[in-house]
Amino acid sequence: MRAITRSNQVAGGAHGTPPPRDHLIIGCAGAEQVPGPTVRYAVITPEGLLMVREAVGDTGPDEWGEPYQHELWTAVRDQVDPDGGAVNGVPLAGGMRAKVADAADHLPRVHPPNPVGSAVLISLSCAPRVWRGSIAIMGEETDEGITTSLTADQLDTLAGAHRRALSFYARCR
């Protein structure tokens, strides 16, 4: 089963590197998929680039028989922790959640500091700290554990926080 994720650049980072073109993410083999919506989420890279991504939000049973968005979480893991594949969530304001690599603090060469992402998370009610590596920002999670797309209001809030963080870091240079 394959899912195509699309990438749209929202705001340029320090290096102005454009996001990669469409790429394929291989979903879990053998899982029966139920057609679902496309889920829109955002990624903030250590270079300060904010990208909007989309992945297929199909649900299928996990190893315990619960609904799970195999292709979405494969795409998020590939963005946040492509080497280790271990991702954890942090609640944010407005019903959003940040997804970060579990091992980011222990592997500084693999997961460089993300000062712009850290500033964005702080502005979205996250406790102050230095976050490392790419950070995915997701929409709300339903009571059934299904993640929804970022809404237009959430994207606007995120883009505003990102602009303020970039402006702050530009003044510091």
Describe the crossing of helices 115-123 and 152-172 by its angle, rounded to 10 degrees: 130
Q: How far apart are CA 72 and CA 68, in angstroms?
A: 9
Question: Mean of the pLDDT values across residues 142-168?
Answer: 94
Look up the pTM and report it: 0.78
Q: Mean pLDDT, to the nearest integer, of 9-15? A: 41
Whether 20 has a pLDDT exceeding 80, the answer reads no
Q: Quote the pLDDT of residue 58.
A: 87
- pLDDT, tens digit (0-9, with 9 covering 90-100), for 86-137: 899 999 999 999 999 988 888 888 889 999 999 999 999 999 999 999 999 9
Where does the pLDDT of residue 13 fall: very low under 50, low under 70, confident under 90, or very high at 90 and above?
Answer: very low
Distance CA 52, CA 150 (A): 10
Compute how many other C-beta atoms are within 10 angstroms of the C-beta atom of residue 137. Answer: 27
